[in-house]
Amino acid sequence: MPISRRDSGVVPALAALASQVHPVFMLPPVACSLFGGVLAGQFAPVVGLLHATAIFSAVYTAHVKDGYVDFYVRDEDDDHPLSERGCKTALAGSTALFFTCLLALWVVAGLGTALLTLPAWLIAYHHAPQLDTNPVTATTGYPLGIALALLGGFHAQAGALAPIALAFSAVFLVLLSGVKVIDDAQDFEYDKSIQKRTVAVTLGPRRARTAAYALMATSLLLVVALAALAVFPPSSVAAVAGFGAVAGVARRADPELATMLLVRGSYLFLALLLVAVWFRPLA
């Protein structure tokens, strides 16, 4: 059986495997891995590349497993570029790459880094069909993976954790959990029809939307508080203003447009925080 469902041969197989690379959702975890290294104040390129590759392979695993479950197990999707064999081959390859990087991280960065990185794959592999059926784990799986990517990236460079890394990971966890609630609301009618218990299905669209923006507001207030306590540099407040402006526009949009705006707003948020930490313009 070929790897691609649509055709046989090397080129269709590679195209089908590449179809599972989704930059919009893969870039933030990889960027947070590298951001964690920047936070550490020192950056060994080989260690940083190993950790970023491990995180990339974990997210790739999540996309392949999710597509496999939705198409071949739950019969939810109408189409999928990978054959069943292709899905299993891709899962085997991404898992092998992850654990190769994990072993290398253990050797060059220590057991602590490996232990902080391992949960990223565990969350990715078990997102479907285990974690995505509960409103809490369905919402926090991706944000938790990003928070762990930041912590692992920091530990890989510094050999320990510090309050600033823990604070940033907490901010991202809360902020992106709010974004994820809005993202899941796009599929409210369908998820309700198959009894998939997202936050929108559990609380209803209106209350879920309120909860989502409350989470995002909480994360922004947390940044301001931590800047006031000198855990974050004062210029971190610029990230609050940037994301707050995007969220204000997204609040008046439908779930699909709001998700697009908020995901890109999270890129802006991360970029402004990176500038604040790296350059410390107000120091």
Do 115 and 56 belong together in one domain? yes
Do 173 and 246 belong together in one domain? yes
In a domain, 72, yes or no: yes
Do 127 and 166 belong together in one domain? no
Identify residue 25 by its one-letter amino acid code: F
From CA 84, how far away is CA 90, in angstroms rounded?
10
In a domain, 238, yes or no: yes
144, 24 Cβ separation under 8 angstroms: no
Do 216 and 120 belong together in one domain? no
Q: What are phi and psi of 4, to 5 degrees?
A: -90, 145
Do 122 and 236 belong together in one domain? no
pLDDT at 187: 86
Do 122 and 177 belong together in one domain? no
In a domain, 63, yes or no: yes
Nearest CA among 104, 209, 179, 102 for reference residue 148: 102
Do 128 and 168 belong together in one domain? no
pLDDT at 24: 80
This prediction has a pTM of 0.91
pLDDT at 194: 74
Nearest CA among 54, 63, 52 for reference residue 21: 63
Helix axes 10-18, 84-109, angle to 10 degrees: 60
In the block, residue with structure tokens 């691609």 = 4
199, 181 Cβ separation under 8 angstroms: yes
CA angle 253, 259, 262 (to 5 degrees): 95
Nearest CA among 69, 89, 91 for reference residue 80: 69
Measured CA to CA in angstroms, residue 1 lies from 4, 79, 91 at distances of 9, 17, 16
Do 43 and 96 belong together in one domain? yes
Do 125 and 182 belong together in one domain? no
Do 195 and 260 belong together in one domain? yes
In a domain, 157, yes or no: no
Do 65 and 182 belong together in one domain? no
115, 92 Cβ separation under 8 angstroms: no
pLDDT in tens, the chain (283 residues): 689 888 888 998 899 999 999 888 898 899 899 989 988 988 999 999 999 999 999 999 999 999 999 889 888 777 889 999 999 999 999 999 999 999 999 999 999 999 999 999 999 999 988 888 888 998 999 999 999 999 999 999 999 999 999 999 999 999 999 999 999 999 888 888 877 788 999 999 999 999 999 999 999 999 999 999 988 889 999 999 999 999 999 998 988 899 999 988 998 998 898 888 777 765 5
The CB-side HSE value for 140 (13 A sphere, CA atoms) comes to 13
From CA 67, how far away is CA 124, in angstroms rounded?
12
pLDDT at 281: 63
Number of domains in the chain: 2
Residues spanned by the domain of 168 = 162-283
In a domain, 6, yes or no: no
pLDDT at 1: 61
In a domain, 213, yes or no: yes
Do 272 and 170 belong together in one domain? yes
